[in-house]
Amino acid sequence: MAQNCLKCLKYTMCVVNFVCFICGTAGFGFGVFMMMNSKVSSLIPSLSSMNIANMLFIIGIIMTCVSFLGFLGALKENRCLLVTFFILLFILILVELTAAFLLLLYESKIGSFLQRDLTDSLEKSRESAKGGNSTMSTGDWDIIQTTGCYNKLKAWFEENFLATGVAVIVLCVIEVLGMCFSVTLFCHISQSGLSYK
């Protein structure tokens, strides 16, 4: 009975990590595609490196590497890979919880920073347009201003705050389950006397 449960645990871990690997690869590929085809500069100069393409690229790489370790560690029953998978998931959870805590703690400061940076970016775009050196056309800024980008973005976050919180909690639960599964498999391998492969 215990052997059947462990086999079920092993293959569940393999399937979940394989799905995460595919999603990470897709995110990585889409991020590269957006980097190659994006012609519009960032609206927020201070956070120019944190655009959607770069974030997809980085998240895709992290998901691909971590899920590959989990998949291979579970499939091959390799203790070293399972421990590495556990440590990486633990670090990811710490980073996510720290980022969430800092966002909640400095919410008002982040909002005023974004508003100030958007205004500075608009002024620089106007000055560049007068000199003919703008990488972003004034038409792009006109479109952005008629949607009221800052206010719309703020309202969207406020409306979807609960959904975002639930998504973060679900992600953390999945990561904790992955850690529990890897520890359980590690203990089973150690008790069975199986050596490193």
Q: pTM for this structure?
A: 0.75
Instruction: Determine the average pLDDT of the residues in 47-72.
Output: 86
Does the pLDDT at position 185 exceed 50? yes
CB 67 within 8 A of CB 17: yes
Question: Which whole-number Å values give the CA distances from 78 to 8, 65, 134, 186, 197, in the listed order?
Answer: 17, 16, 55, 8, 6
Q: Where are the domains of the chain?
A: 2-192
Angle between helices 107-131 and 79-105 (to 10 degrees): 80
pLDDT in tens, 20-41: 999 999 999 998 888 888 654 5
Question: Which whole-number Å values give the CA distances from 180 to 4, 23, 95, 125, 154, in the listed order?
Answer: 17, 22, 19, 51, 37
Distance of CA 25 to the CA centre of its chain: 13
**Residue 40, pLDDT score:** 47
CB 17 within 8 A of CB 71: yes
Does the pLDDT at position 16 exceed 70? yes
**Residue 14, pLDDT score:** 93
User: What letter would DSSP give residue 106?
Assistant: T
CB 39 within 8 A of CB 75: no
